[in-house]
Structure 1
Amino acid sequence: MSLNILLFKLTLVAYAVATALYLFSAVANKKGMDRWGRFALMGAFALHTVTLIARYVEIGYTPVTNLHESLSFFAWALAGTFLVVDWKLRMVVLAATTCTIVLVMMLFGSLVPMHGQELNPALDSFWLPIHVALAFLGNAVFTVAFVAAIFYLLQERMLKSKKFSALYYRLPSLETLDMINYRCLTFGFPLMTMGIISGAVWADAAWGTYWSWDPKESWALITWFLYAALLHGRLTTGWRGRRAAIFAIIGFAFVLFTFLGVNLLLPGLHSYSSMNG
């Protein structure tokens, strides 16, 4: 077993511990337990960073060219993004949910073959880490917005029905959740935009055309327009609350399909060669 695969498995265990601590803290509502969950998540993220570095050293390029590597990189970006978002807000329920998503990505990443593969010459470019970093960070930010939107709608429903579960008393306010949604949009949209632009420049250098209407490119553009509409609505017509939350959830569904569905279901330049990576 190579070092990076061993580290990946240790990282998976570390995320499982962080998720368990956060879930226990959310369910039991025990003060102080969330602190241990935060420490565990920071430790898991640090170990994950070492894992990606070890993978890079072993294969010689940014590890995002197959399904295992992409899931791992997305999980790393999401964990790091949430740690930044949660630096001051300390949102246990959102942390437990985000950690669960990270853990699921890592579990799926462990179920597909983890071996490296020879890099396609067209991908051998300094644009690879730039484009990938921008795209995955944008996706990670939109994932946090998705989590906040889910809990916004749940809390709003409880307020309207006046039926309050234990979850209600563990959630941030509607204003805080809406603020997270908006802040994520203002950071995620520029990242997505720069990711698309860097991909177009890279495509011109690799294939001689900025845009070829490859399925990945087309769905990325559709997703961009959706988030552009949400940002426009936020800035010009005052979209807030429920409508913004619904758009954030729909947008995440498009992000997920662009990330996984297109790569696995639609043949194109960005497709994985197979489920075997």
Structure 2
Amino acid sequence: MSFADLLAPETSTAITLAVYALAGAIGLMGMLARRIAWRRAACALSGAAFVCQTLILALGAHGAHPGGLTLGAYLQMLAWFILLCGLALWVRFRQEAPLIFAALLGLILFLMSTPWLELAMPLPASLKAPFFALHIGALFLSLGLLTLAFAAGALFLFLERRIKSKQRMRGIWQDMPALAILDRINAFCALTAFPLYTVGIVTGLFWARPVFGSAFTGDPKEVVSILAWLLLAVLFHNRLANGWKGRKPARLAVFIFLLSLFSLVVVNAFMETHHAFVRG
């Protein structure tokens, strides 16, 4: 098999998918069996999966498709951004759980991407180059952070409820990060996601004027995205100015992520929107 064959979307996806699967499986078994060595091995494999996928993106394997980027390529890029955020949290907080969660989610996105590697989604010429780097890149990175903020917030709420109801922590729950660590992870993700999300929103509105005739057209994608941005601004402000901690920011982070997921899946796929090109 030649090097060019290895870079083909199908082959490179299979290789990266295998590493993702190993990372996810070993990480999950390590959590269930409470084996720290397995969890650390899963983190190392997650790093290897990130390197494999980075090589795919850097060498432009997906860009070789004659019709442009495919739906599968978009899903794989989202997996890359989520894994990047998981690695950042692992380096900063030395917690395996967020990275293992990111690897498992990346595995799911890769599995979803496989049937769609040939479904080309050519962008309009006006939405290429700097637009793609600033708008899509900033939004995908902020979505990766919001995904992990959601995970930390949801786990915080679940564990806090168990503690308050005096339920015993057994098995896997004993190895979960402490509530204070989960709150710090939530805060880090929210405070980092807001400026990135702002860049994504501003560049989208900036390029919308020459393309659609107005910066704001009332498109469902724009409405939901701006609503999510406003809620994220509330979370950002209260974290910094009012010292929000605990349950309130956790609940708001969960809601913002669900709203973003609604925008990404329901609006893009089922509503009349300028972003209908993602349907192929």
- Normalising by structure 2, what TM-score? 0.89
2:131 aligns with 127
AA partner of residue 58 (structure 1):
A
Larger mean CA deviation between 126-135 and 197-206 belongs to 197-206
Within 5 Å, which residues of 2 pair with 1:174-253?
174-253=179-258
Runs of 5+ in structure 1 lacking a partner? none
Secondary structure of 1:270's aligned partner:
helix
- Any conservation in 2 of the 1:26–1:96 contact (CA below 8 Å)? no
1:55 aligns with 61
2:24 aligns with 19
Q: 2:51 aligns with which of 46, 57, 63?
A: 46
Q: 1:236 to 1:37 in 2, by over 3 A?
A: same
Q: 1:258 to 1:39 in 2, by over 3 A?
A: same
AA partner of residue 13 (structure 2):
F
AA partner of residue 228 (structure 2):
T
Q: 1:62 to 1:185 in 2, by over 3 A?
A: farther
- Any conservation in 2 of the 1:4–1:52 contact (CA below 8 Å)? no
1:72 aligns with 76
Computed over aligned residues only, the root mean square deviation of the Cα atoms, in angstroms, reads 2.2
- Any conservation in 2 of the 1:18–1:40 contact (CA below 8 Å)? yes
Shift of 1:188: 0.2
Q: Deviations over 1:118-146 (max 9, x none)?
A: 44223234222221110100100111111
AA partner of residue 145 (structure 1):
A
Q: 2:108 aligns with which of 95, 104, 107?
A: 104
Aligned mates of 1:56, 1:129 — CA distance in 2: 16
Runs of 5+ in structure 2 lacking a partner? none
Aligned mates of 1:138, 1:219 — CA distance in 2: 15
Within 5 Å, which residues of 2 pair with 1:266-277?
266-272=271-277, 274=279, 277=280
- Any conservation in 1 of the 2:73–2:117 contact (CA below 8 Å)? no
Aligned mates of 2:111, 2:133 — CA distance in 1: 24
2:262 aligns with 257
Aligned mates of 1:231, 1:241 — CA distance in 2: 14
- Normalising by structure 1, what TM-score? 0.90
Q: Deviations over 1:127-171 (max 9, x none)?
A: 222211101001001111111112111221221122222233101
Aligned mates of 1:61, 1:70 — CA distance in 2: 14
Larger mean CA deviation between 158-167 and 130-139 belongs to 158-167
Query: What percent identity do the matched residue pairs reach?
Result: 28
1:140 aligns with 144
Q: Deviations over 1:62-110 (max 9, x none)?
A: 84xx532221111110001110111142323333322222211111112
Q: Deviations over 1:176-225 (max 9, x none)?
A: 11011111111001100011001112222433422222221111001111
- Any conservation in 1 of the 2:154–2:254 contact (CA below 8 Å)? yes
Larger mean CA deviation between 119-128 and 72-81 belongs to 119-128
- Any conservation in 1 of the 2:43–2:96 contact (CA below 8 Å)? no
Aligned mates of 1:169, 1:251 — CA distance in 2: 28
- Any conservation in 2 of the 1:178–1:240 contact (CA below 8 Å)? yes
Aligned mates of 2:133, 2:239 — CA distance in 1: 31
Secondary structure of 2:36's aligned partner:
coil
